Amino acid sequence: MSLITVIDYGSGNLRSVAKALESVGGQVVVSQAAEDIQRADRVVLPGVGAFADCYRNLEASGLLEPALQHIETGRPFLGICVGMQLLFTEGHEFGVHRGLDLIPGVVGGFASTMPDSQQPGMNLKVPHMGWNRVDQKKAHPLWAGIPDRSHFYFVHSFFGQPTQQDLVAGSSEYGVEFTAAVAKDNLFATQFHPEKSQKRGLTLLENFIRWSP
């Protein structure tokens, strides 16, 4: 059985992610130790909070380089919520902050992207919180067994905007169309929370456990 390390850098729904992975057969360790990332067959980077704080915490914890080294080896890597946003070139949340630049593009917010023609009465609130359909933009092993336009659970005010559309694995709508998932080589990342998305989310996590990029 392959080992999955959930990176503990002081941010994220660590226990809920770990329990969800365990429920679909994963051997999981939640760790702040670089060696647990280095020996892992698969790594998960969750994240909740502000982009800059999460990046700073990941760097200060000494886990940034081991995470990048894991990705460079071609082993599977899953980002969740801010863990997905950190993969982008930079984040525009309370200023401009550098990201990991693994997915070319920026992380912006709903407030700056809502169209001027937004109809009164839509009552869109930020953060976007709740269940939304996800359109699968391209085939991917992590979508296996998940019908297109399935619902997943979101909690976020910002989202990544890739400059390369072929990296968009899924999109959703909340006033505007936004990126819900990205995929590149051995990277897959979701803006939604699979660990909170019941059957469909657990299927995605089970697919991650089986995935061989």
Query: Over its length of 213 residues, how does the chain's per-residue pLDDT go in tens digits?
Result: 689 999 999 877 799 999 999 999 999 999 999 999 999 999 999 988 889 999 999 999 999 999 999 999 999 999 999 999 999 999 998 889 999 999 999 999 887 555 554 444 456 788 899 999 999 999 999 999 999 999 999 999 999 999 999 999 999 999 889 999 999 999 999 999 999 999 999 999 999 999 999
49: left (phi over 0), alpha (psi -120 to 50) or beta: left
Does 70 participate in catalysis according to the annotation? no
Q: Which of 129, 168, 134 is nearest to 152 (CA)?
A: 134
Residue in the block written with tokens 């915490």: 57
Among residues 81, 93, 97, 206, the one annotated as catalytic is 81
Does 193 participate in catalysis according to the annotation? yes
Within a 10 A sphere around the Cβ of 139, how many other Cβ atoms? 9
User: Domain residues of the chain, as ranges?
Assistant: 3-210
Among residues 54, 128, 195, 206, the one annotated as catalytic is 195
Q: What are phi and psi of 163, to 5 degrees?
A: -80, -20
CATH assignment of 3-210, given 3.20.20.60, 3.40.50.880, 3.40.50.620, 3.40.50.1950? 3.40.50.880
Does 54 participate in catalysis according to the annotation? no
